[in-house]
Amino acid sequence: MTNAAAGIAVNTYSYMFAGSAADTVARLADQGYGGVELMFYPGHLWPAELDAATLVDCVTFAKRGCGWCRSICPMST
């Protein structure tokens, strides 16, 4: 039996208020999703709160945890 969720990427918009991007990626990976699209938002994934190494670590974690990181999107205003 194959995991149907493995071919699906989840946009983290609906998880922005629930915790950090790293926590969200871990949760989605545990549920079997194959990828993520990370959203920039304060407290979730925000450039001013991260240094370059931390941002790279977050993307690397997404690729390792879910298989791939589809994109990182800024919030539109």
* Interval 17-74: pLDDT, tens: 888 887 888 888 888 888 888 888 888 888 788 777 777 766 776 666 666 666 666 6
CB-facing half-sphere around the CA of 76: CA atoms within 13 A: 0
Higher-confidence position of 77 and 7: 7
Using only C-alpha atoms, the chain has a radius of gyration, in whole angstroms, of 12
What pLDDT is stored for residue 22 in this prediction?
79
Residues near 14 by beta carbon (within 8 Å), at least 6 away in sequence: none
Confidence of residue 9 (pLDDT cuts 50, 70, 90): confident
Give the predicted TM-score (pTM) of the model.
0.70
Q: Is 41 exposed, middle or buried (0-12, 13-18, 19+ CB in 10 A)?
A: middle
